[in-house]
Amino acid sequence: MKDHNNLVPEDLEVQVQDLDRLSGGDITKRILEAPNPAKIVQTFSEQDFFWLMKKAGEEEYLPLLKLASAEQRQYILDMELWTRDQIKGDVTFQWLERMKEADPDHLAWWLFNEGQDLAHLILFRNIDVIVKGPDEELDLPDEFFTNDDVIYIRVINYKHYDTIREIIDLLFREDENYARNLIEEVASIIPAEIEEAMYLQRTTRLAEKGFLPFDEASSVFSPLDPKILETGETLPQRFTQTDEEIRSSVPALPLLNAGAENILAQALLDISDASLIDRARLEFAGLCNRITAAEGLGDLDPDILREKCRKAGGYINIALEKVCGTDVRYAQELIQKNSLESLFRVGFGYAMKLKWKAESWIDRSWFSSLGLDTQFWGTSWGMTLTGLTKEKPLFYTGLPEAEYRGFEKLPEITDAEEILDRVIVLDDFLRHLHENDEYERSLYEEKDLVFYPLIFSFWAQLLLNLKPGLSGLSLEEAKVFFETMREEEDKPPYKMAGFEEKFRADLLQYSPQFEGKRLDVFEETLSLVWQKFQEEFESVTMEALDTRYSRFLVIRD
pLDDT at 5: 43
Q: Would you tell me how many other CB atoms lie within 10 Å of the CB of residue 200?
A: 11
Indicate the length of the chain as a whole number.
557
Closest CA to 453 of 333, 536, 393: 536
Q: Say if residues 477 and 556 touch (Cβ distance below 8 Å).
A: no
| Residue numbers of the chain with a pLDDT score lower than 50 | 1-10, 234-242
Residue 86 burial by Cβ neighbours in a 10 Å radius (0-12, 13-18, 19+): exposed
pLDDT at 248: 57
Strand pairing report for 127-131 and 145-146: unpaired
pLDDT at 7: 44
CA quadruple 101, 106, 108, 113: dihedral sign:
negative
- Distance (Å, whole) CA 14 – CA 81: 31
DSSP 222: S
In terms of phi and psi (left: phi > 0; alpha: psi -120 to 50; beta: otherwise), the region of 407 is beta
pLDDT at 250: 87
Residue 169 burial by Cβ neighbours in a 10 Å radius (0-12, 13-18, 19+): middle
- Distance (Å, whole) CA 74 – CA 157: 25
Q: Say if residues 416 and 384 touch (Cβ distance below 8 Å).
A: yes
Residues 95-143 pLDDT 10s: 999 999 999 999 999 999 999 999 999 999 999 999 998 888 888 999 9
- Distance (Å, whole) CA 302 – CA 312: 15
Distance between the two ends of the chain, CA-based, in angstroms? 74
Strand pairing report for 473-474 and 555-556: parallel
- Helices 452-463, 499-509: crossing angle, 10 deg rounding: 100
pLDDT at 547: 57
Residue 467 burial by Cβ neighbours in a 10 Å radius (0-12, 13-18, 19+): exposed
- Distance (Å, whole) CA 349 – CA 330: 20
Strand pairing report for 395-396 and 404-405: antiparallel
Within 103-213, residue ranges assigned H as helices are: 104-112, 116-126, 161-174, 176-185, 191-207
Angle at CA of residue 499, ends 495 and 500, nearest 5°: 90
Helix, strand and coil content of the chain, in percent to the nearest 5, comes to 65, 5, 30
242-245: Cβ within 8 A, 24+ apart: 243/275, 243/278
3-state secondary structure at position 305: helix
- Phi, psi (5° rounding) for residue 402? -155, 85
- Distance (Å, whole) CA 263 – CA 270: 11
Identity at 362, one-letter amino acid code:
I
pLDDT at 10: 47
pLDDT at 3: 42
Q: Where are the extended beta strands (E) located within 399-530?
A: 404-405, 438-439, 469-470, 473-474
Q: Say if residues 25 and 57 touch (Cβ distance below 8 Å).
A: yes
Which residues neighbour 191 within 8 Å (Cβ) at sequence distance 6 or greater? 121, 124, 125
- Distance (Å, whole) CA 550 – CA 547: 9
- Over its C-alpha atoms, the chain yields an Rg (Å, rounded) of 33
Q: What is the pTM of this model?
A: 0.87
3-state secondary structure at position 332: helix
pLDDT at 8: 43
